[in-house]
């Protein structure tokens, strides 16, 4: 201790967490902490910081609050109802569970892993085919003793079953996700996104897993691309699996995400690199619109869906829509560069706008303030399930990124800065 201030190592010992957990809390709760710097430039923490971090530890690790829930309690100091208390404590659902993440070395998979690690699961198994990414990830989490790595492909049913032995929860993230790549390699897209998903379903049924959550995309709605079509087929497989599982406890559900800004392959790193290197920004079309969400929001939603899933649903978050031309303008303003825009034309399979659900899905969906819940066919009028805060959607809107209110350039700038995306 230096003049009453704690080093990172000392602080980790006092609050009994690993360094990677502290680093993550610094990122998520930074506005509640006020560390200072030593003469050597190292961060030091005072008694007030220690009190805040002990409270965070109590909320997140001991009481199972989500990050969002813990932030709300820290900000207001109180929770107003039992329903709100339960919604803020969805994180304790994972306590003591054995969890498998297919495609776990990807951007979303890593973030899911980071978040799970301080929700006290029994073990997290990372299943992916990229040896180098697994090595890099193992180095990042080298102080974690309940993280396991399995090299394998979802196309390999036998290997997948071995990795899934005794698992409770599966997050199926593995996929071929680039639209252009899938257009030129449709057989590979089918093998991974369709047959690979069926292998995940079969393995989960064989080990009697508790829940399996599939991450889909808004490109699965009225698809024009191979990637979107294969994701839609996988959604259908996950819904259908609930009907032939017999007496097994396994619940299958899907989440349909928008464009996750900050994930591998998203446009922000591309636009940023072009601007900083004095190049024109390449834009497929100035008319293009998209639904967007941050990596943090995507993982929040995946966890929320896994908590709510009863079987066969497709969960769709309510997301802001943006004009890509406004996104470009916001990035230019933040970085202070403006090199011009070059339209290169729409790529094969690409759409000018995205949709959240079809007309038919609207008629059998429930709605909450934060999401839509698309029920399996014929399930709406005779639903056995209930969801906190959900009501029958009016079904008189067509949810597309082409219509409605756009975030606008100022709103996008605020979003990018709030989510530390640029």
| Residues annotated as part of the active site | 219
Give the SS3 label for residue 316: strand
β-pair partners for 212: 170, 252
Nearest Cα to Cα of residue 371 among 240, 237, 255: 255
The DSSP result for 270-313, as a single string, is: HHHHHHHTTPPEEES-TT-EEEEEEHHHHHHHHHHHHHH--SS-
Burial (0-12, 13-18, 19+ Cβ within 10 Å), 365: buried
State the Cα–Cα distance between residues 300 and 297, nearest whole angstrom: 5
Give the SS3 label for residue 373: strand
Which helix (H) or strand (E) segment holds residue 240: the answer is helix 226-241
Give the SS3 label for residue 15: helix
The DSSP result for 119-150, as a single string, is: T--SEEEEEES-HHHHHHHHHHTTT-SSEEEE
Q: Are 325 and 283 in contact (CB under 8 A)?
A: yes
Count CB-CB contacts under 10 A for residue 158.
9
Pairing of β 43-44 and β 36-37:
antiparallel
Q: Are 170 and 100 in contact (CB under 8 A)?
A: yes
């Amino acid at each position: 201790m230096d003049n009453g201030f704690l080093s990172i190592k000392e602080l980790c010992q006092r609050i009994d967490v690993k360094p990677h957990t502290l680093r993550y809390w610094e990122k998520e709760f930074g506005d509640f902490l006020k560390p200072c710097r030593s003469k050597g430039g190292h961060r030091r923490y005072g008694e007030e910081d220690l009190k805040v971090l002990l409270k965070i530890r109590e909320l997140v690790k001991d009481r199972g609050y989500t990050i969002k829930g813990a932030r709300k309690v820290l900000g207001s100091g109180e929770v107003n109802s039992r329903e709100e208390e339960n919604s803020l404590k969805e994180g304790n659902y994972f306590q003591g569970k054995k969890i498998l993440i297919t495609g776990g070395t990807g951007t979303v998979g890593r973030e899911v892993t980071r978040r799970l690690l301080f929700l006290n699961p029994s073990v997290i198994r990372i299943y992916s085919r990229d040896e180098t990414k697994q090595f890099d990830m193992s180095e990042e989490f080298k102080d974690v003793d309940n993280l396991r790595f399995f090299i394998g492909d979802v196309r390999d049913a036998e290997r997948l079953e071995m990795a899934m032995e005794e698992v409770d929860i599966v997050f199926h993230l593995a996929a071929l996700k680039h639209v252009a790549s899938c257009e030129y390699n449709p057989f590979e897209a089918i093998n991974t996104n369709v047959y690979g998903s069926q292998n995940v379903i079969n393995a989960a049924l064989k080990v009697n897993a508790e829940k399996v959550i599939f991450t889909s995309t808004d490109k699965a709605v009225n698809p024009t691309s191979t990637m979107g079509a294969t994701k839609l087929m996988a959604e259908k497989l996950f819904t259908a699996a609930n009907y032939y599982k017999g007496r097994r406890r396994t619940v299958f559900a899907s989440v349909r995400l928008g464009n996750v800004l900050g994930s591998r392959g998203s446009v922000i790193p591309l636009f940023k690199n072009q601007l900083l290197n004095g190049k024109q920004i390449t834009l497929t079309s100035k008319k293009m619109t998209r639904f967007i969400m941050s990596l943090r929001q995507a993982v929040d939603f995946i966890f929320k869906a896994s908590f709510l899933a009863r079987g066969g649903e497709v969960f769709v978050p309510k997301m802001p829509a943006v004009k890509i031309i406004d996104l470009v303008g916001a990035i230019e303003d933040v970085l202070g560069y403006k090199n011009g825009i070059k339209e290169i034309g729409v790529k094969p399979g690409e759409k000018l706008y995205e949709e959240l659900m079809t007309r038919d899905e609207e008629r059998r969906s429930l709605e909450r303030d934060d999401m839509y819940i698309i029920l399996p066919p014929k399930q709406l009028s005779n639903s056995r399930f209930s969801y906190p805060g959900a009501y029958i959607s009016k079904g008189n809107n067509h949810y597309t990124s082409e219509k409605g209110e756009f975030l606008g350039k100022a709103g996008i700038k605020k979003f990018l800065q709030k989510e530390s995306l640029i």
